[in-house]
Amino acid sequence: MALKMTAVSVAFVLSSAVFPASAQQIDPIADALTEKLQTKFAAAYNRKDVMTMAGFFSEKGWRITPSGVFQGRDAIRRNMERVIEMGLHDYSVQRTISKFLAENIVYNAGEWRAKLGDQQYQGYYSALLVREGGEVKILEETVNVAAP
């Protein structure tokens, strides 16, 4: 069970596939910044490029998942390596909220879906994105697995 939870929890950070969300809760500028990050992240995931995936996190970023709390890019990278090795696939994210909390902080939340083998999982996530230099990085991400 813990092994499956680890794989599923990484799906949250893999905010990769973007689907249209409610325009009522989506700030167009925040949405554009998020979509660009998610598109690049998805490409890295599909290549199984864990170094690039971890590079989307701030150096001091946090991931809070059902399988643990991971602080720093290196810890996040190691967690993602385990997920890739387990075979997590067919993940998607549907953002329902994307808005600025401050000038350089974007808040996103939504639902994720992923498969491990033939088993479908889903849950919810939230993330704080920050601008660092000319790039957008994930500062904090929290994910859960929904009860069946």
Q: How far does CA 55 lie from the centroid of its chain?
A: 12
Cα 122 to chain center, whole Å? 13
Structure pTM? 0.78
Single-letter residue type at 145: V
Q: Say which CATH architecture domain 2-143 belongs to.
A: Roll (3.10)
- pLDDT of 7: 38
pLDDT in tens, the chain (148 residues): 444 444 333 333 343 333 344 445 888 988 888 888 887 877 787 788 999 999 999 999 999 988 899 999 999 999 989 888 888 877 778 889 999 999 889 999 998 888 888 999 899 999 999 988 888 999 999 999 998 7
3-state helix, strand, coil in the chain (%, to 5): 35, 45, 20
Question: What is the DSSP secondary structure assignment for residue 25, as one 8-state letter?
Answer: G
Residue 108 CA to residue 100 CA, distance in Å, equals 9
Domain extents in the chain: 2-143
